[in-house]
A = this chain, B = another copy of it.
């Protein structure tokens, strides 16, 4: 039974990693390679979840799960490796506005998730069950079992994250963000437990605004992280002023009114994180980040191979004093 992963017998401690999509998933893979299943909890953003054709799609959970299962498309970092798109092709023929690229294998995951949710299981239970069926041994946990939806405010009006990111290709200028439903949501049970027991908390290199902030917006989470007596390690998703993937860089300009940089990331998390990992390319900002009160590690952070993922995960654990 996968539930045993989250049982009371689960050893306290270990690493609590907060992740969004592709970048977060890469570090989660690295952490899973060096930590035992009972020493890592990966909590994932669900602000991007959306309903397509009546199916509950959890893009970040899927990306993390496929990655940790070794099933992710290596070209894109998301989606199912070698997936086909026959259903999508027919959906278009039948007149559906099929802008969200659901592969056939991927579709099965959404069908099954939706069916299990309808049967009364929580998103936490469903996520764990599906990951287990895909062979993932480390617990993957949604940030909340209640719906929280990231709404993009832009010059073109308000839209869901997927509408902005996939349908509109991140083109609208983001002028604001809000997390609908966050006020009445709670951290998922396993997230809450990990917040109280982790030896270290790691912010994976995911978009601060769109991937990590929704997690922090769940009531109590920001406070518990800030009050944690353990290292809170941020791995910068910005390298040399650029986002490795996605719209994070442009969003820094419009939401934080500053150029994207490792320093800007450090400023964003100032007050809740204690440790900061940045790329060699950003070495020159080291002192400025240290001046914010962070303990800083400068290392190679771009994860293009599995070895990079493991090395970065090991560096993060070492910095946080977590034995592997």
Find out whether the CB atom of A112 lies under 8 angstroms from the CB atom of B53. yes
**A105 nearest CB neighbor, chain B only:** B90
Give complex CA distance A105, B133 in Å: 25
- Write the nearest CB–CB distance from A52 to chain B, whole angstroms: 9
The reply on A224 being an interface residue by CB < 8 A is no
Q: Are A53 and B115 in contact (CB under 8 A)?
A: yes
Instruction: Identify the stretch in A30-38, A91-99, A202-210, A257-265 within 8 Å (CB) of chain B at 4 or more residues.
Output: A91-99
Complex Cα gap A308–B80 (Å): 45
Is A104 an interface residue, CB under 8 A from the partner?
A: yes
Q: Does A270 contact B (CB under 8 A)?
A: no
CA distance A133 to B95 in the complex (A): 7
Among residues 72 to 96 in chain A, which have CB atoms less than 8 Å away from a CB atom of chain B?
80, 83-84, 86-91, 93-96
Taking a contact as CB atoms under 8 Å apart, the answer to whether A89 and B112 are in contact is no
How far is the CB of A322 from the nearest CB of chain B, in Å?
32
Q: How far is the CA of A53 from the CA of B104 in the complex (A)?
A: 15
Q: What string of 1s and 0s marks CB contacts (under 8 Å) between A45-88 and chain B?
A: 00000000111000000000000000000000000100110111
Q: Which B residues are CB-close (under 8 A) to A129? A: 95
Chain A 109-134 residues near chain B, CB threshold 8 A: 109, 111-112, 114-115, 118, 129-130, 133-134
Q: Does B105 contact A86, Cβ atoms closer than 8 Å?
A: yes
Contacting B at CB under 8 A, from A271-302, are none
Asked if A166 lies at the interface with its beta carbon under 8 angstroms from chain B, I say no
- Interface positions, chain A 183-234, Cβ under 8 Å from B, are none
How distant is the Cα of A93 from the Cα of B96 in the complex, in angstroms? 28
Pick from B96, B108, B111: contact of A112, CB under 8 Å: B96
A303 sits at the interface (CB 8 A): no
Judge whether A315 is part of the interface by a CB distance below 8 angstroms: no
Most buried by B among A87, A89, A104, A129: A87
Residues of B within 8 A of A112 (CB): 53, 91, 94-96
Q: In the bound complex, what is the Cα–Cα distance between A93 and B136 (angstroms)? A: 13
A86-B84 contact in complex given A53-B111, A94-B133, A112-B95, C-beta closer than 8 Å: yes
Query: A111: which of B80, B87, B130 is its contact (CB, 8 Å)?
Result: B87
Which of A108, A118, A133 counts the most B-chain CB atoms under 10 A from its CB?
A108
Which residues of chain B come closer than 8 Å to A319, judged between CB atoms? none
Check B96–A115 contact: CB distance below 8 A: yes
A134 near B93: Cβ-Cβ < 8 Å: yes
What 8 A-B pairs come out closest when comparing CB atoms?
A: A90-B108, A86-B104, A87-B108, A53-B111, A104-B104, A94-B112, A90-B105, A91-B108
